[in-house]
Structure 1
């Protein structure tokens, strides 16, 4: 591994071509140890000429949408990752970390599934921990993995003086992430840093693995260190003056400029270049603003749209029979109801919401049949004849001249929103029904 000296960079100098991209950023969404506001971090990166910026909150993707939208709005490429806990099989109370980064949309899906599995199946002392074997068989094929520097298992082995074990661990990670595993190095002022870097670079050289420089950003500016420490104390249950409290962070963990990072790793220019290369390897596009509903089961050979129309027409017949018992009066009133029903079903289908109406009708009917009192309907949803026909509401909108357009309007695309009142003593039964029928994982 080449470690030739690199010409120092003048402070404040912004290179014409990107020399470094931050991949580690604990934002305010890291809950326990981050205070960086996303918009401010992206603005700072843009001002420094960084073409991309990575977010890597601790074991969550809570800030992903805000970060993605804000970065694209500023012309900064969003790199989405997670600072992930990895279960320590030898000492459960000492988990290690790796940085997992999405290369593309498939990688985002894989990362989401891994996090979900950790939260549902492998929490320990409040930490959602992943296990190494979860990455087998292509489960993380579209993710990049960074070793976690001194917080990873390779770093722990080096700190314990077991370089052979560190090399074996690195080889194992490289097998799990073929062509996508990086030995990570940091210089954030922690004890033992230079010893770790020396061994880590040697291991990377022997195994032919790339080295990447990162910086663990916890706050925006150096002056924010005390505020960050207060945040950490609140999370850990300490006070600032307590001499016994852990001091896991340093005042160096602010958002350093490219010039500062180039100076910091002047002896490892390829590690800086690999940070930029990782940004190039990632291209995540996510679809926002579209709702994905559970699939409503329809009879074989019938589409969701056709089934909605069929159910609405059948329901209208029942309602007309109740409203107008005399056949002559019923036939006299029928045209205006059928015209209104067709207008509504056409609109619902056009906007892609037939499944929504059928699902809501399904669990309301279940509640009524199983002894759960349900209100007659209120709000703008009471203006829908389809809802009345499907037993979602019990109010005839034509009798009261209620407008369907207040509930659903193609010119203002948003999810329909039925206000439904269930008996508070029994509504949990309806929720359980929905969970069982449409899938607990949905």
Structure 2
């Protein structure tokens, strides 16, 4: 019977998860699993490392995050009310979903941070495409509603998540931690709700360390987090086995939960995110009337060079230098880079934000001078373009731009 350990934490779940992303992959490989997931708390620091380790091991990486969801909105930050966000297990189903996961984690830190990086349901609705959600552990919204006995809230939570992610992308998460008082109560209710709403059950172990023998080290980490010692009997500690467990063990544990094991593989099959490494990825640029990048860049440079000389004729050496630089830039595929930099420099100057005249090797480019990115005449000062961009050494261009420090954030 197939099983994929989807819900797992690495040491990037700071002082809560033990083991590297690679350790998780090695444990999955050791158990004969053909896929594995990573869902660190509120962060995705480890996903690329995990992806590469999984690919090297011949295991399919399932990229996720256990997100914190604000009880109200991510902008509400009131003591005693907003300090305990819900948990929600999220996976990237597609490359678009991975980009949406990036958006969510970024906004959680920049907009929703209050003790923890938090999203809210509104944000999930905006960036929910291409994502799969599991109802989460006991700290999640649905289990909390079940344990509170508030049936209206239980159904409201399910309906809202189905609306956000779609019925086929929302699963009810059951876990095997029988020593925890409320886990069985929640599991049994989730089983009934899955049948009522025609949702899939999915088995996870909320793994916080790769192997059973790692539990002692994990316990010590929790002591560091809570500033206590292992001698304190009342300390926070995990009851039971939170390792990446064997399939046979879990098959017995979840025998009364229809398709909970099989659905782990189903989710793994649904998730297909691929990265291309070793290639420069430059954002696209929207040109007027969808002009070709090279043609539009050439037009802007020629217009800019004409403005630099005013009523005077453009000297031949300047024309030849521009032609040469454009040939190099087009050949290396960096047209959009210059268009983007030119765009935000133009914006800054239009708003009266002070921009430096040019610093570093970019001052040697007549393209940069023509586009008003720099204010240093590279030919007049005998500067070499090759110090900035050399066709014999393929590397990203690097334009250093100084903005007034009191208005830099506007740019």
Q: What is the TM-score of this pair, normalised by structure 1?
A: 0.75
Corresponding residue SS for 1:58? coil
Residue in structure 2 matched with residue 40 of structure 1 by the alignment? 23
Choose from 134, 141, 147 the match for 1:146: 134
Structure whose CA Rg is larger: 1
Task: Name which of 186, 190, 195 aligns with 2:185.
Answer: 195
2:187 paired with 1:209: no
Q: Which residue is equivalent to 1:351?
A: 332
Which residue in 2 is equivalent to 1:427?
Answer: 405
- Tell me the secondary structure at the aligned position of residue 295 of structure 1: coil
- Alpha-carbon shift at residue 316 of structure 1 (Å): 4.9
Q: Which runs of 5+ in 1 are unaligned?
A: 1-17, 435-442
* Aligned equivalents of 1:87, 1:370: Cα separation in 2: 39
**d(CA) in 2 for partners of 1:53 and 1:79?**
6
Post-superposition offset of 1:417:
0.7
| 1:156 matched residue in structure 2 | 144
**Partner residue of 2:170 out of 181, 197, 205:** 181
Q: Does structure 2 conserve the Cα–Cα contact (< 8 Å) formed by 1:184 and 1:213?
A: yes
CA 1:313 to 1:267, structure 2 compared with 1: closer, same or farther past 3 Å?
A: same
Q: 1:270 aligns with which of 256, 259, 268?
A: 259
- Considering only aligned residues, what root-mean-square deviation do their CA atoms show, in Å? 3.8
Of 85, 93, 97, the residue aligned with 1:103 is 93
Is 1:418 the counterpart of 2:399? The answer is yes
Aligned residue in 1 for 2:242: 253
Which runs of structure 2 are paired with 1:43-442 in the superposition (5 Å)? 43-88=26-71, 92-131=82-121, 134=123, 140-161=128-149, 166=154, 169-170=157-158, 173-174=161-162, 176=164, 177-188=166-177, 189-236=179-226, 238-241=227-230, 243=232, 247=236, 249-250=238-239, 252-268=241-257, 270-286=259-275, 289-293=279-283, 295=285, 303-316=292-305, 334-335=316-317, 337-361=318-342, 372=354, 374=356, 376-379=358-361, 381-391=362-372, 392=374, 394=376, 396=378, 400=382, 402=384, 404=386, 406-410=387-391, 412-420=393-401, 422=402, 426-429=404-407, 431-434=408-411
Aligned partners of 1:32 and 1:306: how far apart in 2?
Answer: 53
Equivalent pair of 2:64/2:91 in contact (CA under 8 Å): yes
SS in 2 for 1:355: helix
SS class of match (1:79): strand
Q: TM-score, normalization: structure 2?
A: 0.79
Q: Distance in 2 between matches of 1:161 and 1:314?
A: 70
C-alpha contact 2:282 2:336 (8 A) present in aligned 1: no
Say which is worse superposed, 257-266 or 28-37, in terms of deviation.
257-266
